[in-house]
Amino acid sequence: MKALEKRPGGTALFWLGLFVGVALAGLFVTGACYYLTDRGLVVTLEIEELADYLGDQIEAQAAQELPRVLEEVKARVPALVKKQMQGGNRKAEIKISDISIILPPSALAELDNYLQGTVETTLYRLLDGMELDTLARDLGQQARELVTLSLGKELAARQVLSIKTWWGRIPVLLEVGKEGQLVKDQGNY
């Protein structure tokens, strides 16, 4: 029975537990605040995932729009070729030895029509021979590379990266993920 008398009472045990709990919670909060203000907040950005997503979206949009654009270009070919070939005051002259033969305007007009038709036919063949799927893939790949480079440079150029709190500033550490490697950039705070 004497062993039972040495134990503290119910209220003393309650206050002791409350004090220990509050002290541990305070130590945890203080440690977390110290950890965040000393080391900073680490944010990992995966640029490759974002670049792949944007590249895929651009590739899909280009594959959808390129046929329409190509048809618009084909419709404008005759007018563009005619505009480029109008030189006015042209003469066609054939020289053989000391003899010059000047073509009449009707022959010159026929030659212009022939050349215009040849240029149009050649342009149509070039446009029809374009591989739109390959072109769309190339556009998507260029977009991926551009996003990766631009976003990487933009994030590396940040100088002030911190979060202001009531107890001080928390520095933000950016880890930019790029092709399996992490490029660390800690902002000034």
Distance, CA of 68 to CA of 62 (rounded, Å): 10
Query: For residue 87, what pLDDT is reported?
Result: 63
Res 44 pLDDT > 70? yes
Res 64 pLDDT > 60? yes
Query: For residue 123, what pLDDT is reported?
Result: 85
Distance, CA of 129 to CA of 149 (rounded, Å): 32
- From residue 141, how far is each of 90, 134, 138 by CA, in Å? 47, 10, 5
Show me where the domains of the chain are located.
Answer: 38-186
158 and 138 in contact (C-beta within 8 Å)?
no
The bridge status of strand 168-178 relative to strand 41-46 is parallel
pTM: 0.53
Query: For residue 23, what pLDDT is reported?
Result: 92
- Could you give the percent of the chain with pLDDT greater than 70? 74
Count other C-beta atoms under 10 Å from residue 92's C-beta.
Answer: 13
Query: For residue 61, what pLDDT is reported?
Result: 92
